[in-house]
Structure 1
Amino acid sequence: MPAVSHEENLLQGKDQLLEVDTTAFGDSNPFSGQGQGAQDGPPPPYESVIMHDGTRGDTTVGLSHFEIVVRDPVKHGDNSMSAYVSYKVCTNTSLPQYKIKQPEVIRRFRDFAWLRTRLQEQNRGIIIPPLPEKNVVQKYQMTTEFIETRRMALSVFLNRVAAHPALAQSKDLQNFLEASEEDFAIEVARANHESAGGANAAKKTLSSTLQKLKDLGQQTQNLVSGKHTDEEEDPDALIVTLQTSVMVQVREYMFQLEAHLTEAHRQAQRLIKQQGLLGASLAEFGTSVISLGKFEQGRLADDFINLGEKAESLARSSQEQAGSLGVTFEAPLKEYVRMVRSAKAVMADRSLALGALQQARADVDAKRTKLAKLRGTPGIKEEKRSEVERELNDAQHRVEAAKDTYELIVRRMSQELARFQTERATEMAGVLRSFAVAQASLASDTAKAWRTLAPAPSSNGAAR
């Protein structure tokens, strides 16, 4: 059997541990490759996640265990910062752990925000679907349009969580969907108290984590330039450095994707606004032409009135489509801008986990050095050496725990990035197809409407 070189061993270890690779981006990946680890079957079509009237569509692929509708928004308080909107969350589920199969609960936006934060804490490495951004100005105004837009976005959020194979089993989601308002408030208080200790511990290690990330960046540069240090001879350190090199490419792709999606969303908003303005202009034109027709007499009067009525009819169609595009075209683009940011947050969490692992390893090295000095110093009490040995043992356990956490996040990220890219490609293709069909239909209807007013040409080319 041929000998295996040290470099080949490292690369084999990298392949086993580095499951987050550029193949997670499928055919649309700028690095090429085929996606791995995505959920079987296509994602639910966007129109099945949320419809304009708050009801579900007929297609519910991937949502076999849940049907969730956010409806009946109710405004509480006057137009002040203390005002808020409550929503009725109606669920139909077949999961056996639910005590109620068709629960209906009342929740407000802060409850949705708590659920998302809790899912992030309990499912590191998983891309948590985004919530709509907070808007202080619009919250103060509380317009009907703002409330309806938020209601639809909250429904999308819940259905995406419920469609995720891991998040659908979350106890926090179950509490959110079926607990009474009183029981839910108690659960929120309990969970917040439980999370407080972890948050304080994270703050204590933040500065050291950032320093380790800087060191890791230098390791990556050394790898690219061909430089080596003693630390890089450690197989684990080399594997992590290789992972980081790949993640730099993925992160750059995500930054560019966010920029392009943001610009596409901005132009979609502009297009919808212009289409709405076109409809308004057509309506005003139609009204003015009908008035002119009433001033005229005979055939000319009829022609003006017919023209005005067609213009008003097309104005309604244009304005209706502008409203529809806001839901079926602009909203999905906006949501995927938020989804990319959620994916970037998972990548940032992976970096924090790596920093925590590096810090834990540095702590072990420091304690080993301390123990070696004690062992080499005459007259040191055995109790002192035993205490440092216990500290070293505890530090080694922390390294193993940090390593397990880091590797769990890396494995989950591989599946999540592949799932994200597969769903995004499928849904965006459907969104663009629906947009094209809608535009073609409106153009066809417009041409037919105007054609009914145009005189048909005779055989010699003259109008009849």
Structure 2
Amino acid sequence: MRKEIDNSVSQQVISVWVRDPRIQKNDFWHAYIDYEICLHTDSVCFNKKISSVRRRYSEFVWLRQKLQANSMLMVQLPELPPKNPFFSLNNAQQITERMKGLQKFLEQILQSPLLLSDSCLHLFLQSELSVSKIEACAAGRTHYSVVQAVQRCGLRRFNSEEDLQKDLSMCCTCDFDTHSSEPQIKDLAINKAESTASLDLIGTSQEETLSCSSGST
């Protein structure tokens, strides 16, 4: 019976992309880079089929440690791109290599039926809760459930990878509904081999994302 369930899950599509690195400043002296995680799926494991959130490298490190602990060593987790003591916010090649490594990590994580049952993974991918709030929510210590936290998170519209690549070649843009008060947002340009970050674009992207409601921040 378990084998049939695993086969059913493996036949479902879960596409994930890590893209759009941006420099975020804590203050004048401290800054970091976060990345957009886009998920598009038809899997029954996910309540929300399309989502977009931003996470930084240290949160990926937390996720791996949490998944390893929760799985009780029943799954060998893939490695993250190594922490580089000489990592520079001004080095486009280093940023690109890390971004690709983070995407590969998530792609491998999402192939495991056991890990797909972990609430922390779902909150990491589909909510903008901090890691401490993710832990509290997964443990049932918040006034909102995991499903509510996921559903509250803002959504940015994008299509399949194939459609997006066609749109990119045509230089088209994707609009929100005419009644939306949000400005137009460019289509999500996704190319797994060429989703690189130039120094001129880091931190200056004109795209805007919808934020979660105040109840889930």
Using the TM superposition, give the Cα deviation of residue 94 of structure 1 relative to its aligned residue in structure 2, in angstroms. 1.8
What amino acid sits opposite 1:168 in the alignment? L
Structure 1 residue 120 and structure 2 residue 68: aligned?
yes
Alignment length, in residue pairs? Answer: 133
Distance 2:137 2:83 in 1: 25
Alpha-carbon displacement from aligned partner over 1:400-444 (angstroms, at most 9, x marks no partner): xxxxxxxxxxxxxxxxxxxxxxxxxxxxxxxxxxxxxxxxxxxxx
Give the TM-score taking structure 1 as reference length. 0.26
Structure 1 residue 132 and structure 2 residue 74: aligned?
no
The list of structure 1 runs, each at least 4 consecutive aligned residues, that deviate by more than 4 angstroms after superposition, is 189-192
For 2:116, the equivalent position in structure 1 comes to: 168
What amino acid sits opposite 2:52 in the alignment? E
Q: Given that residues 17 and 38 in structure 2 are in contact (C-alpha distance below 8 angstroms), is that contact kept between their aligned partners in structure 1?
A: yes
Query: Quick check: which one's helix share is greater?
Result: 1
Alpha-carbon displacement from aligned partner over 1:59-112 (angstroms, at most 9, x marks no partner): xxx57331000011101239x983211111000122234231101111111111
Alignment of 1:57-206 (within 5 A): 64-77=12-25, 82-123=30-71, 124-139=73-88, 141-179=89-127, 181-182=128-129, 185-188=132-135
CA RMSD between the two structures = 3.1
What amino acid sits opposite 1:143 in the alignment? N
Instruction: Give the share of equivalent positions with the same residue, in percent.
Output: 29
Are the structure 2 counterparts of residues 153 and 99 from structure 1 closer, same or farther at C-alpha, using a change threshold of 3 Å?
Answer: same
Query: Quick check: which one's strand share is greater?
Result: 2
Q: Given that residues 45 and 116 in structure 2 are in contact (C-alpha distance below 8 angstroms), is that contact kept between their aligned partners in structure 1?
A: no
What amino acid sits opposite 2:79 in the alignment? P
Distance 1:81 1:125 in 2: 42
Q: Given that residues 63 and 163 in structure 1 are in contact (C-alpha distance below 8 angstroms), is that contact kept between their aligned partners in structure 2?
A: no
Instruction: Give 5+ residue unaligned stretches, structure 2.
Output: 142-192, 194-217
Distance 2:39 2:13 in 1: 10
Local SS of the residue matching 1:137: coil
Local SS of the residue matching 2:97: helix
Distance 2:100 2:48 in 1: 24
Give the TM-score taking structure 2 as reference length. 0.53
Distance 1:157 1:97 in 2: 19
Distance 2:43 2:29 in 1: 39
